[in-house]
A and B are shown apart, each in its own frame.
Chain A
Amino acid sequence: RKEVEQDPGPFNVPEGATVAFNCTYSNSASQSFFWYRQDCRKEPKLLMSVYSSGNEDGRFTAQLNRASQYISLLIRDSKLSDSATYLCVVFWGGGFKTIFGAGTRLFVKA
């Protein structure tokens, strides 16, 4: 079993749609959680951190469920510019490990 698993997609949605991605992780000692965005042939960039209480940044909402060991990302009112690969990232300090999921591809079409 992979340490961080994501549905690879692709998710094809129309503009204005709401789309949700999930990610599961295997290490219960994981400390920090993030969503990164990666455009085609570009470097990953931090989209948002994920907190147990849930957090929102504009059209993006991230949730963490420690009991079930999963993380989610919700995108509302999708824009064409949201088309990208979304990487789930999990970190734990012991052993100094940051684990990246393989990513979920999103295509938003007009």
Chain B
Amino acid sequence: NAGVTQTPKFRVLKTGQSMTLLCAQDMNHEYMYWYRQDPGMGLRLIHYSVGEGTTAKGEVPDGYNVSRLKKQNFLLGLESAAPSQTSVYFCASSYGTTNEKLFFGSGTQLSVL
């Protein structure tokens, strides 16, 4: 049972390049989330999804897009990367609204030069 899998683990981009981060979960969770973590700050929610085909904005959605075409996958896209998007990105999933437990992927270290 793999849990939540994120790819890639590391990536370096030049300003203006685009990329997609992939998150996959095999726990049949309805809810999936993308967070970013920066030094001295808590994890901040970028976008989330409450089910297949649905997405919603979180706290810091600007510059990112997401898609949830299949229940098990949640993609995070950066159309035109900026240095301010240098961060560690975590995908997470949970059973439902009570958020009793978030299951996190191992993270993606992204640097934008």
Does A98 touch B at the CB level, under 8 Å?
Answer: yes
Q: Which of A52-96 contact B (CB under 8 A)?
A: 87, 91, 93, 96
Does A1 touch B at the CB level, under 8 Å?
Answer: no
Known: A32-B99, A43-B90, A93-B97. A102 touches B42 (CB 8 A): yes
CB within 8 Å: A-B pair count: 46
Closest approach, in angstroms, between the C-beta of A107 and any C-beta of chain B?
17
Contacting A46 at CB < 8 Å: which of B40, B97, B101?
B101
Contact between chains at B106 and A98 (CB < 8 Å):
no
Alpha-carbon gap, A86 to B90, bound state (A)? 17
Does B48 touch A at the CB level, under 8 Å?
Answer: yes
Which residues of A are found within 8 Å of B35, using beta-carbon distances?
A: 100
CB-nearest residue of chain A relative to B50? Answer: A96
Contact between chains at B42 and A91 (CB < 8 Å):
no
Known: A32-B99, A93-B97, A96-B97. A45 touches B104 (CB 8 A): yes
Contact between chains at A43 and B107 (CB < 8 Å):
yes
Contact between chains at B105 and A98 (CB < 8 Å):
no
Q: Which of B75-110 contact A (CB under 8 A)?
A: 90, 97-102, 104-107
- Interface residues of B, Cβ cutoff 8 Å to A: 35, 40-45, 48, 50, 56, 59, 90, 97-102, 104-107
By Cβ-Cβ distance, the 4 closest A-B pairs, closest first, are A100-B42, A43-B104, A100-B43, A91-B99
